[in-house]
Amino acid sequence: MKTITANEAKQSFGRLLDDAKREPIMIEKHKRPAAVMISSDEYDRLRGLNVAQFSAFCDQIGQRAEASGLTEAKLSKLLD
């Protein structure tokens, strides 16, 4: 991953945008990581992974609840 300073990012933002289309760019401020710039396609891909992982987690929990005998009626009664 390419690393640049916040000052470099500010001075050459157009180039930074172009570079981020090809690979993530680490932006450092005071020699510490401050941000990572990624392409919008990569952002969408990562966001999709999070949604997929959350959905899989919910499915697993639902299966466990069903296996232990929890039904919609029992859940409704518990929540009332």
- pTM tops 0.75: no
pLDDT at 11: 97
pLDDT at 47: 87
Clarify whether residues 46 and 31 are in a common domain: no
pLDDT at 16: 95
Q: Tell me the average confidence (pLDDT) per consecutive run of 10 residues in the chain, 80 residues long.
A: 95 96 95 94 89 88 86 81
For residue 58, the enclosing domain spans: 41-79
pLDDT at 69: 87
Total domain count for the chain? 2
Clarify whether residues 32 and 46 are in a common domain: no
Tokens of 30: 């005071």
DSSP for the chain reads -EEEEHHHHHHTHHHHHHHHHHS-EEEEETTEEEEEE--HHHHHHHHHHHHHHHHHHHHHHHHHHHHTT--HHHHHHHH-
